[in-house]
Amino acid sequence: MTQQADNTQPFVQSARFVTIKLCATMTGLSPAAVEKRIERGHWVENKEWRRGRDGRIWIDTKGIEAWVLQATE
């Protein structure tokens, strides 16, 4: 998050890759529901999520968007 020059309002820029916790907040799912989608193979590695060098899971917001659109077509 960065501040505008006058420091009155914060400016938040979206990120393509987010943590499970932030994905849950953004989508209204619980963190456990996000993890279940990964565990059950509904969300595929390197498509809807990726593992970082440190082993942490990062959710690809563009991948999730494509997954939702595919499910509704």
For the chain, the domains span 2-72
Q: What would the pLDDT profile of 7-58 be if each residue is shown by its tens digit?
A: 677 777 789 999 999 999 999 999 999 999 999 999 999 999 999 999 999 9
pLDDT, residue 6, reads 63
pLDDT, residue 13, reads 77
Superfamily of domain 2-72 in the CATH hierarchy: Putative excisionased domain DUF1233 (1.10.1660.60)
pLDDT, residue 73, reads 62
Return the bridge partners of 59, or none.
18, 49
- Phi, psi angle pair for 13, to nearest 5°: -105, 135
Q: Which residue reads 């996000």 in tokens?
A: 34
More confident residue, 5 or 19: 19
Residue 49 half-sphere exposure, CB side, CA atoms within 13 Å? 21
- Phi, psi angle pair for 27, to nearest 5°: -100, -15
